[in-house]
Amino acid sequence: MEEDKLQQAYMAYHKVAYEPGTLDKKTKELIALAVGTAIKCQYCIDAHSQKAKVNGATSQEMKEAIYVAAAVCAGATLSYGKKAWAEQTQQPQV
């Protein structure tokens, strides 16, 4: 079935993406944890917080990664909010 091929392809990609390279496994898990919190994926949060710990991440490193994700999300909200405000307060073209 096509879904099985897609699942296998995803898992192969996932495996390669998490292999140590320029970034080590701990750093990659901290990034995954931060993204998981940003997209509100409970499975991601559970899995990557555990994997981050196994790969040597401290609680403080995990908190800091999450704080960075929160700052990015807040920044995006402010940027889009500023744009929306500007669009709503413009004078109509006559």
pTM confidence score: 0.82
Amino acid at 39: I
Q: Is residue 94 part of a domain?
A: no
CATH number at residue 16: 1.20.1290.10
pLDDT digits 0-9 by tens, 2-37? 779 999 999 999 999 999 999 999 999 999 999 999
Q: How many CB atoms lie within 10 A of CB 52?
A: 25
**Number of domains observed in the structure of the chain:** 1
pLDDT digits 0-9 by tens, 43-76? 999 999 999 999 999 999 999 999 999 999 999 9
Amino acid at 20: P
Structural domain range at position 35: 2-89
CA–CA gap between residue 70 and residue 37 (Å, rounded): 8
CA–CA gap between residue 63 and residue 34 (Å, rounded): 9
30 within 8 A of 62, measured Cβ to Cβ: yes
